[in-house]
Amino acid sequence: MSTQGSVLALGKCLACLEFMLFPVWRGIGASSSISWSQEWSRCLKWEFDSRDGGPRIPVFDYPIWFVFCRGGRARIREVYQRGRGAIRLPTDIFDIHQVPKVFREDGIISGYRHPRSSALDCILSSFQMNNETINIWTHFLPTWYFLWRFFLLGSTMDFLSDSYAWPLLVYMLLICVYPFTSCCAHIFSTMSPESRHICYFFDYGALSLYSLGCAISYGFYVMPDCWVNSWIQQHFIPIAIGNSLLCTSMSCYSRFVELQFPQRSKALRTGAFVVPFLFDTVPLFYRVLLSCWGSCSLGEALSNHCYHLLFAFLTCFLFTAHLPERLAPGRFDYFGHSHQLFHVSAVVGTHFQMEGVLADMSSRRQWLQTHGLAPSFLSTFGALVLSFVLNLGIIAVFSALLLWKPRPSCGQQHAPTCGCKEQ
């Protein structure tokens, strides 16, 4: 039978069977009360054109999702009703004046989730359009990208017995952890005001560990030739551990003064991340300067590092400037506000940083193994475990301070832990 004949036979077979249906959902935003049940009038059967007997392909001018279901309309309707009841998709979305101050974001007017959501509602809200949805996905999907790169590297490198690869192993682990922690923080940040603070404490802790991962990889692979075996290389990782503790402490503390002194809080939090970044990047700056003064040729590794620096500055700008939503409050509530751009910029920057670290690691391997310090278990995994435990301790202290603090009355609108709605 020819291909055309097969298609026709399949089409005719489909046309005979009543249960072969293609229900169409016009998608989120097509109308305010859209649902599958209301859209049954749009169910399409695979129809045949009576003139030539060929299948008639419908044309759509809106986004659609197809569900191919054996069993027909009744079965799909039943599944829909059961699923809707079981999943309990959270549908309530609030405006800024309906949620406590602690949940409010500059320039974001609508799309807030319920400030006392259950954990299940928080997870399900990732699939519903609100002002956190893109924040969640812009760090969830990159987590999988970095994990995929990690496993690809794992299949080509001997991470366990080759000590030269240990700094890379720590770095790869942490670039998978920080977007995932951030994603979880954005998902569960609306369970209560306290949970919001604690979620972001973990987010800051993961970011400060990431800064340590950068320091460990830079300390072994990126250090300029003239600094190898110097005082700065020998003390680079211990200082980076101190920076990570400072970073977590400052950023967690900044949440306590956020409502009373927003400018001070922002400055503290920005400073908390800029300090370790600048420290980690000093060897890189020096190498770029040396390279510019010398041959003016950056090479693959330094080109990637320069792109990373560019995106790091953009990330910092987006974090502090709150653009574009500050210029047009309410316009970017769902798409395009600064925190989403900040996430994307951070991830793209991390991608270039990873490429730079990989290029340095492979191209300088022979020279570094001959002239430099060999990475030890203590200076890689030891530093990571020590910093992890100490950071966890800091988060525990700040969480305890938050939870054991006397609860303010609802009239005290500036109190950071007040969970009452300000109508």
Rounded-to-integer distance, Cα 355 and Cα 149, Å: 10
Question: How near is the Cβ of 423 to Zn ion at its closest, in Å?
Answer: 28
3-state class (DSSP) for residue 407: coil
Nearest Cα to Cα of residue 125 among 63, 171, 191, 61: 191
Closer residue to Zn ion in complex, CB, 182/251 = 182
First to last CA, the chain: 70
Closer residue to Zn ion in complex, CB, 318/415 = 318
**Which residues are paired to 94 by β-bridges?**
112
**Which residues are paired to 45 by β-bridges?**
21
Rounded-to-integer distance, Cα 30 and Cα 348, Å: 32
Question: How near is the Cβ of 343 to Zn ion at its closest, in Å?
Answer: 6
- To the question of whether residue 235 is assigned a binding role by annotation, the answer is no
Question: How near is the Cβ of 179 to Zn ion at its closest, in Å?
Answer: 9
Helix axes 133-156, 338-363, angle to 10 degrees: 10
Backbone angles phi, psi at 6, to 5 degrees: -65, -45
Closer residue to Zn ion in complex, CB, 182/243 = 182
Helix axes 231-256, 262-293, angle to 10 degrees: 160
Closer residue to Zn ion in complex, CB, 343/351 = 343
Question: How near is the Cβ of 184 to Zn ion at its closest, in Å?
Answer: 11
- Using Cβ positions, the residue closest to Zn ion within the complex turns out to be 182
Question: How near is the Cβ of 243 to Zn ion at its closest, in Å?
Answer: 21
| Contacts of Zn ion in 153-212 (CB under 5 A) | 182
3-state class (DSSP) for residue 233: helix
**What pairing do the DSSP bridges indicate for beta strands 65-66 and 21-22?**
unpaired
Question: How near is the Cβ of 339 to Zn ion at its closest, in Å?
Answer: 6
Question: How near is the Cβ of 340 to Zn ion at its closest, in Å?
Answer: 9
Nearest Cα to Cα of residue 99 among 198, 183, 192: 192
| Contacts of Zn ion in 344-373 (CB under 5 A) | none
- To the question of whether residue 351 is assigned a binding role by annotation, the answer is no
3-state class (DSSP) for residue 55: strand
Closer residue to Zn ion in complex, CB, 182/417 = 182
**Residue 78, exposed/middle/buried by CB under 10 A (0-12, 13-18, 19+)?**
exposed
- To the question of whether residue 337 is assigned a binding role by annotation, the answer is no
3-state class (DSSP) for residue 316: helix
**Which residues are paired to 55 by β-bridges?**
48
336: left (phi over 0), alpha (psi -120 to 50) or beta: left
Closer residue to Zn ion in complex, CB, 36/180 = 180
Closer residue to Zn ion in complex, CB, 170/344 = 344
Rounded-to-integer distance, Cα 222 and Cα 348, Å: 19
Alpha helices in 65-224 (DSSP H): 72-87, 119-124, 133-156, 166-188, 193-217
**What pairing do the DSSP bridges indicate for beta strands 24-25 and 65-66?**
antiparallel
Rounded-to-integer distance, Cα 423 and Cα 26, Å: 34
Question: How near is the Cβ of 315 to Zn ion at its closest, in Å?
Answer: 11
Closer residue to Zn ion in complex, CB, 341/418 = 341
Q: Give CA torsion, residues 55, 56, 61, 62, to 10 deg.
A: -50
Closer residue to Zn ion in complex, CB, 249/340 = 340
Q: Which amino acids are annotated as binding site for Zn(2+), given as ranges?
A: 186, 339, 343
Q: Which amino acids are annotated as binding site, given as ranges?
A: 186, 339, 343
Residues that bind Zn ion (CB under 5 A): 182
